Structure 1
Amino acid sequence: MLHDFLLNVDNVVADLSQDRPRLGRSSTAERVADILRDRISEGFFQPGQRLSEESISEGLGVSRNTLREAFRLLGHERLLDHRLNKGVFVRLPSAEDVADLYRVRRVLEGAALRRAPSEEALALIKEAVLDAERAAEQDDWQGVGTANIRFHQALVSLNGSPRIDEAMRQLLAELRLVFHVMENPRAFHEPFVDRNRALVGLMESGQPEKAAAYLDDYLDQAERLLIHAYEPNR
C-alpha cells in the first residue's frame, strides 16, 4: 500500500523556494514543469497527494496561470490527474503502465549499453552508484531510489540524444511514482545497488553484449517485483 505522506504548506513553500533560481528571468510553464517533475523523481511529491496551487505558486514565486499550464503539461506526461471540482493530484500508475514503462526502458537502455561510454559519462554513472551505496549504508531507501534513477538517466545519456534524454526523464518520474507501491522499500531497492555495481563492471571491462543481457535480466526482475506488488489491488 502507499505510504502515508503529507506535506504541510510551510514545508512546501520553504522547499520549493530553493528552486526559484532555476526559473531564471522568465518563469515559463516548461521550467516550472521541469522543477515539479524533478521533485516527483526525488520522491518529494507522492501518489494520491493533492497539489496546492497556493503553496506551490508561492514557493516558486510564479503566477497561478503559469502553474496551471505546468500542471497541464505534467498531466500529458501521465504524472498528474486533474479531477473535476477536486483539484490536481499526483497520479499512481497502473500495473499496465509498469509493463509499458519497462518495455520502453529495455529499448532505450539496451541501446545505450551497446555504445562505448566516454570517461565523463562513465564517471557520472559510477557517481550514482556510489551515492546509492552511501544512502544504503545510512538506511535511506528513498535516497537509494533517487540515486538509482540518476544511474539510469546517466546510462541512457550514452545514446547521445537530447530527445531520448528528455523522454527518459519523463519515464523515470513516472517510474518513481510506481516505487511507492512497495511496502518494503529496502527489500526492493537493496539488490539493485549491487546489480548496478556489477553492470558498471561489465561496461568498464568492454563487454557491451554481456552488459545488455545482464540489464535485460535486471529489468525483468524489477518489473516482476513491481507488478506483483499491484496484485492485491487489481
Structure 2
Amino acid sequence: MNHDEKVAEICQVLNSIGRHGTTAKDDFFALSALFYKFIKAFTESENIVFRNFYAKFRYCISKINLDEEDVSNFEAFRKFIRRGFSEKVNQVAIEQGILLLQKLCLQATENSELLGFTFDNSKYNNQYFTKLFQARRSPSTKYLKLLYTGHNRSQSKRAFHLYGFDLENLQTNIVIECDWFNAPHLFYLIDILKEDTLIACHNLVPVAENKYQAKSESLIVIEPDFLVDASAISECFGNKNTSSDIFG
C-alpha cells in the first residue's frame, strides 16, 4: 500500500466518526488512533531513523505545507490527544479534530480525489485547539520536558548552552545555560546526549524568555523513548476498535 492509499484509508475511517450513534469517548479514541496512524503513515516511508514520536511529529510539521496558525493548531491538537479523554472533549472538539486531520490529509497527498471528501473550510477554525490550550507558563517555571537538539560549548570548556524544543510547544526553542561554577555535575551530558533524546529538566532558573540557567540543585534526566502517556494505555486498550498502530 503506497502513501496516498494509506492516507485515503485514514480518511475513510475519519469520515465515519460520529455517524453511528457513538459516544464522545468512542469518537475521541477513534480520532486519537487516527492521529497516531497519520503520523506513522507520513514518516514510515522516509529513509530516516526517528528516535521517538516527538521527532516524527516535528518532522511532519516541517514537511507539510501549513501556515503558522495551522501549525499552532496542530501542536495544540497533539496536546488535546495526549491529555486523553477529559472535560475538553465535546462534539465541537471532535468535529474540529476531524476537520484538522482532513486538512492534513489533503496537504499530505498528491491525489486528493482518492480521499473521498470535500473539505469545508468555512467550518474549520484554525485557532480552536490553540485557544483551548493557551500557554499558562509563568516566568517562574522551573521544570521543562525537552526534545534535545544540540549544544554549544565555550572555548574555555567551562560552560555550555543546551538547546531543545519544549514538548508543550515544539516550535519553541529553549536554551539552558550551564557553567562549571554553578552546575559542574551536568557536564557529563555533553558526551552522552544525542539528537532527539527526551530530557526532563528540574529546578532551572529562568533568566529570559525561553532561556534558563542551571544551578547546583538542577537536574537533567534522560527519559526513555515513548509515544503516548502510559496513563492512557489502559484506557486505550479498554475501548473497542483499538489498534496497535497507535504504538507503532
Tell me the TM-score range normalised by the shorter chain.
under 0.3
> Rg larger in 1 or in 2?
2
Q: Which has the higher strand share?
A: 2
Taking structure 2 as the reference length, the TM-score comes to 0.26
